[in-house]
Structure 1
Amino acid sequence: MEFGILEDYAVRMVLFLAQNNGKIISRGEISEAMAIPITVLARIGQTLEAAGIVEIHRGKRGGYKLRKPPEKITLLEVLESFIGKIAINKCVDNPNFCVREGVCPVNRIWKEINEKFRNLLRVDFKTLLEMEKTLT
């Protein structure tokens, strides 16, 4: 499994908005600060708005701001707003996908890996900001 560039840009955008929590930040400022092509930000913003993560403010002084505090937004939520529910294998969330689901030893491993992976992605953006401080 690999996340695409849109998901990466979305995470960067939310991280920057979390750093500026409560402020309306222009598309140009986000683009410059987070190395995201300005032409892609509108599409990302619309997806994040539909997911209830950001607010879009239109007009001359428009831009984006978080709809919720950073501690209420998870990495998992941002990623899944773009790609849907994350699962390591189709059999993890769809028991009718494979006839061997009830007897397959690998299915148990997939489910365990999947749950651990999803738990790691449940980190909130406040925690990510705190982690970033230790890196600089």
Structure 2
Amino acid sequence: MKITKEADYALRIVAMLAKSGQQIEAKVIAEQNGIPYRFTLKILRKIVQAGYLKSFRGVNGGYMLNKTPEEITLRNVIEIIDGDIALNGCLSESGCCVNDGSCVIRRKLQHVQDIVTNELDSITFADIIAEMPE
């Protein structure tokens, strides 16, 4: 499993918005995180569509969290961008292995994946911002 650059940026964006607790313009989000502006807009759109951010149009427009930092986990944001987390293709919903039920390797990888996803699910953005410098 490798988190994409887009998911990494999304995590940074949500952390920034969680820490500020206020509405921030897309341009400011892009500049402060070193993310290309158009790419920032694409990421923001996905997170808004998933219901985790809300957007405001116009002169005083911007973005802010639509849920509390306690309600948003690392897993939520990663899966918004990258889809379901799967260490191997056989662990995805489409599954590809003919030995699905009897494969020891699949069972072991599933165990590791469960540990990773449970950990990502247990870390909220409240946890993240609590450790961020002022």
Q: TM-score over 0.5 for the alignment? A: yes
Q: Is the 8 A contact 1:95 1:101 kept in 2?
A: no
Q: Which residue of 2 aligns with 1:90?
A: 89
Could you tell me how far apart the structure 2 residues matched to 1:129 and 1:78 are? 15
Aligned mates of 1:37, 1:96 — CA distance in 2: 35
Mapped to 1, the partners of 2:62 and 2:113 lie a distance apart of: 36
Q: CA-atom RMSD, angstroms?
A: 1.7
- Deviation of 1:94 (Å): 4.3
Distance 1:47 1:96 in 2: 26
For the Cα contact (< 8 Å) 2:70–2:126, is it kept in 1? yes
Gaps of 5+ in 1: none
Find out whether 1:13 has 2:9 as its counterpart.
no
Report the Cα offset of residue 42 of structure 1: 1.1
Change (3 A) 1:93 1:41: closer
Equivalent in the alignment of 1:37: 36
Cα distance in 1 for partners of 2:55, 2:31 equals 18
SS of the residue 2:64 aligns to? strand
Aligned to 1:91, the other structure's residue is in SS state: helix
Aligned length: 133
Q: Give % identity.
A: 32
State TM-score, norm by structure 1: 0.89
Q: Post-superposition shift, 1:93?
A: 4.2
3-state SS, counterpart of residue 98 of structure 1: coil
Q: One-letter code of the match for 2:60?
A: R
Unaligned runs of 5+ residues in structure 2 are none
Instruction: Say whether the 8 Å CA contact 2:4–2:82 is kept in structure 1.
Output: no
Match of 1:50 in 2: 49
| Cα distance, 1:73 vs structure 2 | 0.4
What is the CA distance between 1:95 and its match in structure 2?
Answer: 8.1
1:46-72 CA-to-partner distances (Å, cap 9, x unmatched) read: 100111111111111101000000010
Secondary structure of the residue that 1:103 maps to in structure 2? Answer: coil
Aligned-pair distance for 1:96? 5.7
Equivalent residues in 2 for 1:1-136, closer than 5 Å: 1-21=1-21, 23-94=22-93, 97-122=96-121, 123-133=123-133
Match of 2:54, SS state, is: strand
CA distance in structure 2 between the aligned counterparts of 1:95 and 1:55, rounded to whole angstroms: 32
